[in-house]
Amino acid sequence: MEKAVVTVLGVDRVGIIADISAVMKKYHINILDIAQTIVQEMFTMMMMVDISQTNDSFDNVKEEFDKLSKVLNVQIKIQHMDIFQSMHRI
C-alpha cells in the first residue's frame, strides 16, 4: 500500500469535502482515515489516503489539487507519507 497525507485549510464553505472527494474518486484514491474540524470559521481536514491504485501520476494528482485549491480558495496539500513523516519528525 502506498500512503499519502492530504491536508486542507481555509475558510469554511459548503462543498469543500464534496469537491475534494470528487478529485479523489477521479484518481481512484481511497480514504483510509479522516479528521476534520471547524474552529470558528476555519475549516481544517487531514486525511490518510491510499494512492496505490491511482490511475495517473502523483504529479498530476498534485496539480489537480492545486487547481482545486484556487477554485475553493483553500490550501490543499498532498504529500507522500514518508516525506510527511520526515518533515514532522522531532
pLDDT in tens, 10-39: 999 999 999 999 999 999 999 999 999 999
Q: Which domains does the chain have, with CATH numbers?
A: 3-87 (3.30.70.260)
**pLDDT of 81 strictly over 80:** no
- For residue 72, what is its C-alpha cell? 475553493
Q: Find the mean pLDDT for residues 37-52.
A: 96
**pLDDT of 85 strictly over 80:** no
| Reported pTM | 0.87
**DSSP code, position 7:** E
Cα–Cα distance for residue pair 70/22, rounded to 1 Å: 16
- For residue 34, what is its C-alpha cell? 479522516
Which H/E stretch holds residue 74?
A: none
Calculate ∠ Cα 27-31-35, nearest 5°.
135
pLDDT > 70: percent of the chain: 91
